[in-house]
Amino acid sequence: MLFNSKPQDFDVPPEQINDLNKPMWDKAMKELQKIAKFKTPSLKLKYLLNGWMITNNSFSLFGSVKDNQAASAEDILKILPYIIVKSQADTLPLQIKFIRMFQYNDLVIGEKDCVLTTVEISNRFISEKKIAELSGRPSPRLGLHHERKVEKEAYA
């Protein structure tokens, strides 16, 4: 069901869907698929970070502020769930728990912790999207701009 999704189903901005980014996303998907094959938390974390870096770097390598192709953190939060779904890394939530459980806390700080947290958020969003799809409810959105607007209105 979700595996047949397109980037647009995750609200990925149209300017990010191009022939330069797609091969990078395919490479990131392959890195995520490798995670389950390894037994140690450090190797699992290594491939998770590789997938993240490939996704993140696709914007800095091929994006241009002038051409409105520079990605924001919000765009990455829309693209990462798409990449996770397409990678068919179904055990990724368990892999993240395993990494957090057995990796020393002093090794999972800074960027590594940020990546783990971002992937956890993406996994939660994917779960909510699957539940909505199965129940026939509207699919959840990662529209952070909308939430900020509602928040501003609440304080007005």
**Given this model, what pLDDT does residue 51 score?**
87
Q: Is the dihedral of CA 83, 60, 36, 103 positive or negative?
A: negative
In eight-state DSSP terms, residue 126 is: H
The overall pTM is greater than 0.85: no
Q: Which CATH code for domain 2-155?
A: 1.20.1050.80
pLDDT in tens, 64-100: 555 555 556 677 788 888 888 888 888 888 888 888 7
Q: Are 39 and 94 contacting, i.e. CB atoms less than 8 angstroms apart?
A: no
pLDDT in tens, 24-74: 889 989 988 988 898 888 888 888 888 888 887 776 554 555 555 555 667
* Domain definitions of the chain by residue range: 2-155
**29 to 18, 35, 68, 85: CA distances (angstroms):** 16, 10, 25, 9
